[in-house]
Structure 1
Amino acid sequence: MGPVDWASSRVCGRQRASTGNVSGKYAVLEFEPLLDSSSIDSKGWAEIAQTIFRNYKLFDGFVVLHGTDSLAYTCSALSFMLQNLGKPVILTGSQVPFSERKNDALENLLDSLDIAGHFMIPEVCLCFNSTLFRGNRTTKVSASAFDAFASPNFPPLAKITAVGTHVEWNSVKRSTSLEAFSIQSDLEIHHVACLRIFPGIKPKMVEAVLRTEGLRGLVLETFGAGNAPSGHDNKLTQVISDAVQRGIVIVNVTQCLTGSVNPLYAPGMVLGRAGVVAGGDMTSEAALTKLSYLLALPGASPESVAKDMATSIRGELSEHAGTIFKHPTGELSSPVAQLTAIAYATASGDIEKVKDILRNDNQLINRADYSGNTPVHLAATGPNIAILRHLLSLGASVHIRNHTGSGRTPLFLAANAGLLPHVMLLRQAGGHLHAEELETARLHASQRPEVWKQAGLEVP
């Protein structure tokens, strides 16, 4: 596999326009047998990775031509498999093949060759429709349009125009490890699964997936910012918790195209306490392949994999994600911004941050967010009971009900989460279950009778 002169005058022309008459050379390798991209699996990914590894010292960059159906999956997989990457690896394809008169194949190929040969962007990237994306941030958004791919939660690395190529160099990720390029060619892709939550899903359906022989990891696609139905008896949460106890790593990603999973509100906190890893703003493709990669690493344990899933290792997630919603004006008003800050601090157990915010405006203690949750509601299911105690010491109400169902008190939320110390503190502060909560509380009481008894419910 040796370099040869660029065969197309069209290629040379584009190359000269962007690089100032610097000649380029390339070599072509065709895999056998050729696969439809919908049929690729970890074996195909390993073949690509091994080919790049064998030829790594011979070339300045690599372009991989690939069908679009599973292109985002391959981009994500290779981004993890290629360790300490120091050269560009650009994947591309087309919506319309070369054989058609009006196609996007030629432009995508030429753009990819330009980028790989003349720009030191040492990442696995996807080049499509004159745009260069970080590969593990992409997802396919159209079955027919030329702009078939998007990177919903991360801006493009480069844009290609008739004038030239503009690279966002501050966004380019570079390996900082003093180690040579290597590959992890084995992935546990056959031992992970992806499950999309939907309204009315039965716990036994989820359990059937989690009981699949050999399953080691699951990507759970949930509603909004990471919510899943709990039901009156918390059966689904229990099914998930039991699977985590068996050593299955479960990662929570959002079904939404943009945004992030964050254990901010009560349902998300419940999944977090069950041992589910918040996947931040990772795409499903990135979460699935990253989970497969981490499970295949030597010495991997459920604990180490869960920890690394929540950490960015190839730029696949934003470790400091912003707020998970936007105010209608585009800017958060001061009270909304402060309530959001309190919510994040409460979710992370940061009492000093909560104190600092309330020191400037203690009227926030009884102010509700768009879900009707006051800071006490959030603290009632939070990890640090000291925050709840501090709010109560400032005079925060234990009687305000949120907008869930018929309205839930902080005491109901604490009991439903099984947090006995929180329940006892709220009761000490005068909290009680509202009359409209009692019927639902009795349905939950069979799971944690002692907790609900302490909440003031008459348990038979």
Structure 2
Amino acid sequence: MPGATTPDSPPSPAPSNVPELGLVPDAVTLGAPESRVLVIATGGTICMKRGLNGYVPERNFMNLLSPRPSFNDHSNQPPMPCYADAVNAEALTYLPSLRTPLSTYNRHVRFSVLEFDPLLDSSSINAKGWGEIARSIERNYQLFDAFVVLHGTDSLAYTASALGFMIGSLGKAIIFTGSQAPMTELQSDATDNLLGSLIIAGHFMIPEVCLYFGFKLFRGNRVTKSNSVAFNAFSSPNHPPLATVGINITINWNLITRPSTLTPFHISKYPPGTAHVACLRIFPGILPEMIEGVLKLEGLRGLVLETFGSGNAPEDGRLLEVLRQGVEDGIVIVNVTQCMTGSVCPLYAAGTALARTGVVFGMDMTTEAALTKLSCLLADPNLSVQEIRSMMSRSLRGEITEQTLMSFAHPPQLQKISQQQALGPKQAALSVLAYAIKKGDEIGVREALKQAKAEGEGWLLNEFDYAGFTPLHIAATSPSLAILREFLSQGASVHLRNHDGHTPLYLAADAGKLDNVKLLRESGAHLHTEEIELATILRGRLEAGSGKAICWEMAGA
């Protein structure tokens, strides 16, 4: 639920300021060991300095951060392992690391910087650059808790959108940021943007591709650059921020999307191309021949059409015929509005006329999201044109606002527990889940999750109790595989760590639950870097081939 996240952590025993049945915030990894974040510096203004002819790229970004107390507690942290070689993907290198001072959540964020060579110009980036960023994340996915990507602002909204569609089953935060002025300038937003990104990435398990700018965290495929000079350069006109940063950090947990397929993290096998997709803005007096010229470009397979208002275009019979012919030729044409706020919908005859030609309504997608989504879908040879048209009007990564029915009733068991124990809705829901898990009550678990989802209570999936356990930690050692599968299919995070710093996978292996370990691994779980050494020691003490030894081996020890 929306609300300011408090700095209370769940040490054991619980401190006096945490009620016995109190809950700590959803998906904040409090009390666990320090977080590890990889900062991927691709280029942009944030990585520049003032030169004789203006701003120029400056390498060794880590040297800018080292003297700054906000980024360095001077604890002389050792280097962190990283796969930094794009040519030799198996070559493990060690990058210098810094650690932030202790946050109000009693955590440090330790980070290293992986610099692209050469640094990319954001105004010249294309699908190849998107692929390089995605592969850097893929190679290091199991080594870090989250990722922050430094990027130029000109095309930042396009890259953030593209990465969201290229990546599947994401379980960790990927946060894009940049700045309007370099880190080296006295008047700059660079420090606030990078530090805010690091704090959110290092403390909260938000499994989305996001963009952080001006003290706000946005869904990456919802943003557009709306100001070229102000520090609040980006807007998300049709979707609220996922988080806002002030004295407190407010996370809108009910807006966070989570993976619901039991598959591990992956990037698309079919990298998107931008050459076969075009964008055309409708204007008063546009000639049908102009649109026809675009549609006849060699190799064109998709067109994003920016129209007036709610999706309107000139009611010109010749223009409509040109669009109809383009659709019949197999070109996917998507209609998005030129307006900052609003949606394409069939309110006017001028808009429904476009729909009758076969043009797809893009609803409230931004131009950036529509273009990158269309590019990614067209790259997949397994999708037909009709399937792509259908998918363009459906939300795949939260890029389209979908209407949902509202429920006003709590399940009877929640009402009963709340009345008997005077618990709030969070406490009652967690009590119902814990009781159902321990009993192996599959129906009870499904009903509680279903009701919470209907009410938009995303907190139920990844809620911590005062001991630092989520329901998935409990389900990981449950005798009911169906319950564990239910949590995973509903989007419970496999990467959250309990008070002792352990993931659900570690607990399942330690309990000798082979089937649970298999299912968690299939869903993208892996041992945290700090768990592997201990897990390997425990495995070495067991008889080779024993059930528990096999569990540890399958877990990755």
TM bucket (normalised to shorter chain) is 0.5 to 0.7
AA partner of residue 186 (structure 2): R
AA partner of residue 128 (structure 2): K
Matches within 5 A, 1:4-15: 7=66, 8-11=68-71
Deviation of 1:2 after TM superposition, in Å, equals 10
Q: Does 1:130 align with 2:190?
A: no
Q: Where does the alignment leave 5 or more consecutive residues of structure 2 unmatched? A: 1-35, 40-61, 74-99, 406-557
Q: Deviations over 1:258-306 (max 9, x none)?
A: 0000123211111111000000000000000000011112312210100
Do the aligned partners of 2:37 and 2:198 also contact (CA within 8 Å) in 1?
A: no
Residue from 248, 260, 271 that aligns with 2:354: 271
Residue from 253, 258, 264 that aligns with 1:169: 253
TM-score by length of 2: 0.55
Once residues 351 and 178 of structure 2 are traced to their aligned partners in structure 1, the CA distance between those partners, rounded to angstroms, is: 38
Q: Does 1:210 align with 2:295?
A: yes
With 4-13 and 205-214 compared, the bigger mean Cα shift is at 4-13
Q: Deviations over 1:111-154 (max 9, x none)?
A: 01111111111100000011100010000000000000000000
Q: Deviations over 1:178-227 (max 9, x none)?
A: 11111015103110000000000000000000000000000000000000
Deviation of 1:28 after TM superposition, in Å, equals 1.1
Matches within 5 A, 1:296-375: 296-320=379-403
Do the aligned partners of 1:66 and 1:92 also contact (CA within 8 Å) in 2?
A: yes
Task: Sort the Cα spacing of 1:146 and 1:317 in 2 relative to 1 into closer, same or farther, 3 A.
Answer: same
Number of residue pairs matched by the alignment: 318
Once residues 172 and 18 of structure 1 are traced to their aligned partners in structure 2, the CA distance between those partners, rounded to angstroms, is: 23
Residue from 317, 328, 339 that aligns with 1:245: 328
AA partner of residue 284 (structure 2): P
Q: Does 1:119 align with 2:204?
A: yes
Deviation of 1:9 after TM superposition, in Å, equals 2.9
Higher strand share: 2
Deviation of 1:56 after TM superposition, in Å, equals 0.3
Tell me the secondary structure at the aligned position of residue 280 of structure 2.
Answer: strand
Q: Does 1:58 align with 2:118?
A: no
AA partner of residue 322 (structure 2): V
The structure with the largest alpha-carbon Rg is 1
Once residues 213 and 297 of structure 2 are traced to their aligned partners in structure 1, the CA distance between those partners, rounded to angstroms, is: 37
Do the aligned partners of 1:260 and 1:321 also contact (CA within 8 Å) in 2?
A: no
Do the aligned partners of 1:83 and 1:181 also contact (CA within 8 Å) in 2?
A: yes
Task: Sort the Cα spacing of 1:2 and 1:155 in 2 relative to 1 into closer, same or farther, 3 A.
Answer: closer
Higher helix share: 1
Q: Deviations over 1:45-98 (max 9, x none)?
A: 000000100100000000000000000000100010111111000000000111
Residue from 265, 268, 277 that aligns with 1:181: 265
Q: What residue number does 1:19 align with?
A: 105
Aligned-residue CA RMSD in angstroms? 2.1
Do the aligned partners of 1:280 and 1:321 also contact (CA within 8 Å) in 2?
A: no
Q: Does 1:146 align with 2:231?
A: yes
Q: Does 1:103 align with 2:192?
A: no
Q: Deviations over 1:336-381 (max 9, x none)?
A: xxxxxxxxxxxxxxxxxxxxxxxxxxxxxxxxxxxxxxxxxxxxxx
Once residues 15 and 221 of structure 1 are traced to their aligned partners in structure 2, the CA distance between those partners, rounded to angstroms, is: 47
Q: Does 1:228 align with 2:288?
A: no
Runs of 4+ in 1 over 4 A off after TM superposition: 1-8, 12-15
Deviation of 1:313 after TM superposition, in Å, equals 0.4
Q: What residue number does 1:284 align with?
A: 367
Matches within 5 A, 1:413-452: none
Percent identity between the two aligned chains: 57
Task: Sort the Cα spacing of 1:171 and 1:15 in 2 relative to 1 into closer, same or farther, 3 A.
Answer: farther
Matches within 5 A, 1:182-201: 182-184=266-268, 186-201=271-286
Once residues 284 and 397 of structure 2 are traced to their aligned partners in structure 1, the CA distance between those partners, rounded to angstroms, is: 33
TM-score by length of 1: 0.67
Once residues 118 and 99 of structure 1 are traced to their aligned partners in structure 2, the CA distance between those partners, rounded to angstroms, is: 27
Do the aligned partners of 1:15 and 1:114 also contact (CA within 8 Å) in 2?
A: no
Task: Sort the Cα spacing of 1:133 and 1:3 in 2 relative to 1 into closer, same or farther, 3 A.
Answer: closer
